[in-house]
Amino acid sequence: MKSLSQRAFITHNHVLHRQDFNSRIGTFQSPILLPMTTSRLNMHANVAVRLDTPLLSPESFQPTPVVLWRTILLLITSDAFKAASSAFIVAFTMTFVAKVLTRNSNRNYMISWSRKFSQSITYKMKTIQSILQQIPEKIIPTTGILQSIHSQLKNARDRISKNIDDWSNQSNRMSRSSQTGSGVPMKFNSSDPITQGWGVCTLLSKKKVGRSRYMQYEFSLPYANNTLPLSLGQQITLSCLEADEKVVRGDFYLFSPRNGQGRFSVLLPDISHIPDASKTTGNGGGKLDSQALATLEYELGKDSGDFVSIVVKRLLFLFKLSL
C-alpha cells in the first residue's frame, strides 16, 4: 500500500512539471485527471517544431546572470560537490601535515614548495584568463562576471605570493644570522666553585698553514652552536695540567673568526722541523729540545711557550703510542 502511494506521488509530481512546461509555451492542460497518454498527445499537437533550426539556438537561449548564478548555486549546494570538496580538503590536509611533519626542520623545502604552489596557481590563472578572452562575449554574456571572479582570485593569489615572499625573506635572514654568528655565547662564571670560570674545549686537529712554520690548532667547544664571548683584541686563555699536576696556561689570539660557532683555532709555531724536537721521554713527561723551547719562548713568551710545549709534547707522546 505504501509503495502504491509513493508511485502515485511521483506520477503526480511529474505531471505537474509537464504542466509548468506546457503553460510556458502557451498551452494548459488539466493533467491530473487525465491519463498520461492523453496528455502527451495533446502536447505534441500544440508544439511548433521546425526541422531546420535547433529547438534551443544560441539566439533564442540567452541565460541571464540570475539564471547562471542559480545554476552555480545549485552546483555548489549539490551533494556531489560537497562530497568532492570534503574529499579534496581531507586529502590536501593529510598530505600537507605529512610533509610538514616529515620535513619540519627543512625550512627551505617549505619555501620552495610554497613558491611552486604559487607558481602553479599563477599558471592556472593565466590559462583560465586566456580561455576566457578567447570566448566571444555574445556566446557567453557572463564573461564579465567570470573575469571579475578571476580578478578577485588573482588579488588573493597576489596576497598569498607576497606573504610567501615575506616569509621567505624572514627565513633567509634567520638562516644567515644562524650561520654567521648569532650562536649561544659560552658562559664563564667565575663565582662557580666547581668550574671557577673555566670552560672545556677539546683539541680536534692541527694542520700546517701553507708553507709557513706555523701550525693551526683547532679546538671544539662543548656545543656546536657555542661561541666565545670575546671582544676585539681580547685573548683566550688556555690551561692544562703538566705531568706533575702543575697548572700551565697561555694566552692566545684567535686565528679563526671570533664569532665562529662550535670551534675555534689558534696559531702556534711549528717546532717539528727543529732537530730532536720529537725526542721526548717515554711517559710524556720529558722536555723538548732546548732550541724548540727557545723558539716557543721567543714567539709566545714564557708562559704561553710552556703551555704549548706541554701540548706538543703530549701530542708527540700520543702519536708514538698510536704507532
Partner 1 sequence: MKPGQQALQYRGQYLPVTDILYFTSGAGIVPVVDQVRAVLPPGSSSVKGASVVWINKNEKDFDVAMTTLESEYSKYNTKLAVSCIIDDARMNELGTNKDINDAVPSFRPGTMAVISGPSDFCAKAKKYLTGRGYQEECICIL
Residues contributing to the site for partner 1 (CB under 8 A)? 188, 197-201, 209-214, 219, 228-239, 251-255, 257-258, 267-269, 298-301
Pairing of strands 263-269, 214-220: antiparallel
**Least distance (Å) from partner 1 to the CB of residue 313?**
19
By beta-carbon proximity to partner 1, the closer residue of 39 and 226 is 226
Report the chain's terminal Cα–Cα distance, integer Å.
Answer: 104
Give the integer Cα–Cα distance in Å for 26 and 60.
17
Residue 43: which residues within 8 A CB-CB, separation 6 or more? 18, 22, 27, 29
**Least distance (Å) from partner 1 to the CB of residue 188?**
5
**Least distance (Å) from partner 1 to the CB of residue 124?**
47
Give the integer Cα–Cα distance in Å for 51 and 127.
39
By beta-carbon proximity to partner 1, the closer residue of 286 and 301 is 301
By beta-carbon proximity to partner 1, the closer residue of 210 and 275 is 210
Give the integer Cα–Cα distance in Å for 132 and 161.
23
Give the integer Cα–Cα distance in Å for 321 and 323.
5
Q: Angle at Cα 314 formed by Cα 308 and Cα 320, nearest 5°?
A: 135
**Least distance (Å) from partner 1 to the CB of residue 225?**
17
By beta-carbon proximity to partner 1, the closer residue of 110 and 312 is 312
By beta-carbon proximity to partner 1, the closer residue of 121 and 294 is 294
Burial class (CB in 10 A: 0-12, 13-18, 19+), 84: exposed
By beta-carbon proximity to partner 1, the closer residue of 197 and 286 is 197
Pairing of strands 214-220, 202-208: antiparallel
**Least distance (Å) from partner 1 to the CB of residue 132?**
54
Phi and psi at residue 16, to the nearest 5°: -65, -40
By beta-carbon proximity to partner 1, the closer residue of 58 and 257 is 257
- Is residue 269 within 8 Å of residue 281, measured between CB atoms? no
**Least distance (Å) from partner 1 to the CB of residue 176?**
17
Residue 244: which residues within 8 A CB-CB, separation 6 or more? 285
By beta-carbon proximity to partner 1, the closer residue of 201 and 288 is 201
**Least distance (Å) from partner 1 to the CB of residue 268?**
8
**Least distance (Å) from partner 1 to the CB of residue 76?**
60
Give the integer Cα–Cα distance in Å for 251 and 292.
19
Give Rg (Cα) of the chain.
43
